[in-house]
Amino acid sequence: MKRQHDPLRLDVAAFTDDGAQLSGRWPGASLTRLAEGQSPPQDVALPEVVWAAQGERRAVTAGEAELWLALQVQAPVWLTCQRCLQPYEVPLALERRLRFVRGEAQAEALDAESEDDVLALSRSLDLRELVEDELLLALPIVPRHEVCPQPLPMAVEADPLPEGEAERPNPFAVLQGLKRAKPGDGR
């Protein structure tokens, strides 16, 4: 008999024992921490988050079996370009493999030597919170368009001098001269 698994209170040990699979869609606004950091254009709703999770229990020759959770997530997010300050959509797609072990000490030791993420096995796991955490970690540090859709304002060029007016001397030229002066020059 197959067990029912709740994504909001996932029993990871039972989920991996069953080799179970879950998938679904959540409204973008339901992931509140992710939603707070987004800036969609006016009158545009946050897109859905599409996810899938699969549990796997791997038998090992010595010791207890390894518990794995494969996670796939796709979510377009709206960010503000740091160059042109306009909103733009970033398609996030991620695949993570998480290994669960008994205890924080073991998780910390194995995580340092493994390419996969290693987490301590807990009584229950909120899959929505895990998905949101992974999406937050996947956000670009400095969001920006590859090429901004509108030309960026360039630095304002200095007004040309009126005809017949000589260029003013640089007020820092004296300091530059002092910097170049050698000891014993008498300056």
Query: Is 164 contained in some domain?
Result: no
Is residue 47 within 8 A of residue 28, CB to CB? The reply is yes
**Number of domains composing the chain:** 1
Query: Is 79 contained in some domain?
Result: yes
User: pLDDT averaged over consecutive 10-residue blocks of the chain (187 residues)?
Assistant: 72 88 94 94 92 90 82 96 92 93 79 79 89 95 89 59 67 74 61
Query: Is 170 contained in some domain?
Result: no
Question: Does the model's pTM come out above 0.95?
Answer: no
What pLDDT, in 10s, does the model give residues 155-181?
Answer: 445 555 566 666 777 777 777 777 776
Query: Is 93 contained in some domain?
Result: yes
CA 154/CA 82 separation, integer angstroms:
15
CA 19/CA 13 separation, integer angstroms:
10
Query: Is 118 contained in some domain?
Result: yes
Query: Is 174 contained in some domain?
Result: no
Query: Is 76 contained in some domain?
Result: yes
What pLDDT, in 10s, does the model give residues 73-97?
Answer: 999 999 999 989 999 999 999 999 9
User: Which residue from 11, 31, 33, 20 is spatially nearest to 128, judged by alpha carbons?
Assistant: 31
Domain of residue 93 covers 12-138
CB-count burial class (<10 Å; 0-12, 13-18, 19+) for 8: exposed
User: Which residue from 42, 46, 44 is spatially nearest to 31, judged by alpha carbons?
Assistant: 46
Query: Is 44 contained in some domain?
Result: yes
